Amino acid sequence: MTAETPTAPLSRAELVSLSNDIRLACMRISRRVRFESDRELPPHHFSVLARLDGTPRTNSELADIERVSAPSMKRTTSALVEAGYVSRADDPTDGRQVILSLTAEGRKALRRIRRHRDEWLLERFETLSDDERELLQRAAAVLGKVATK
């Protein structure tokens, strides 16, 4: 059993550098997963499908969640309805609203795209050493903790 040498706390400048490195790495991975793993749907369309997974919503709710304008969301959801991924239904409590839900085809597309994204990342993880994969496993727990704060 080897004793690990205690490390000194990072200075403020080192923390700033680390936060920048982690932010850039996460952004690059996110961008590559979105754009290289599947060409079926634009990323913002996939995001709307994911937001509708198991939870029907209105255009207004989706626009708020996605932080886009209502007209922009209406264009996105109209394209998804036209593609057969999303269905519209009148809101029973407010005649001015429309409830959007995933269709069976939308659920299939969501599963397919998620599988492609997972496979894209898995291919990269397979090229890493066991030590690197173990480090990523520990880092994932830490990043998850950072994301929830």
Name the one residue in this structure whose structure tokens are 């239904």. Answer: 89
Classify 98 in phi/psi space as left (phi over 0), alpha (psi -120 to 50) or beta.
beta
pLDDT tens figures, 96-146: 889 999 999 999 999 999 999 999 999 999 999 999 999 999 999 999 999
Q: Does domain 31-148 have CATH number 3.40.50.2300?
A: no
pLDDT at 56: 96
Q: What is the mean pLDDT of residues 56-78?
A: 96
Q: What is the pTM of this model?
A: 0.78
Residues 62 and 100 sit within 8 Å (Cβ to Cβ) = yes
Cβ–Cβ < 8 Å for 45, 79: yes
Whether the per-residue pLDDT at 91 is higher than 80: the answer is yes
Amino acid identity, position 29: I
Q: Rg of the chain's alpha carbons, rounded to an integer?
A: 20
Strand partners, 89: 99
DSSP state of 74: H
At residue 75, does pLDDT exceed 80? yes
Task: Specify the range with the lowest mean pLDDT, choosing from 6-10, 18-22, 79-83, 126-130.
Answer: 6-10
pLDDT at 39: 76
Domain locations along the chain: 31-148
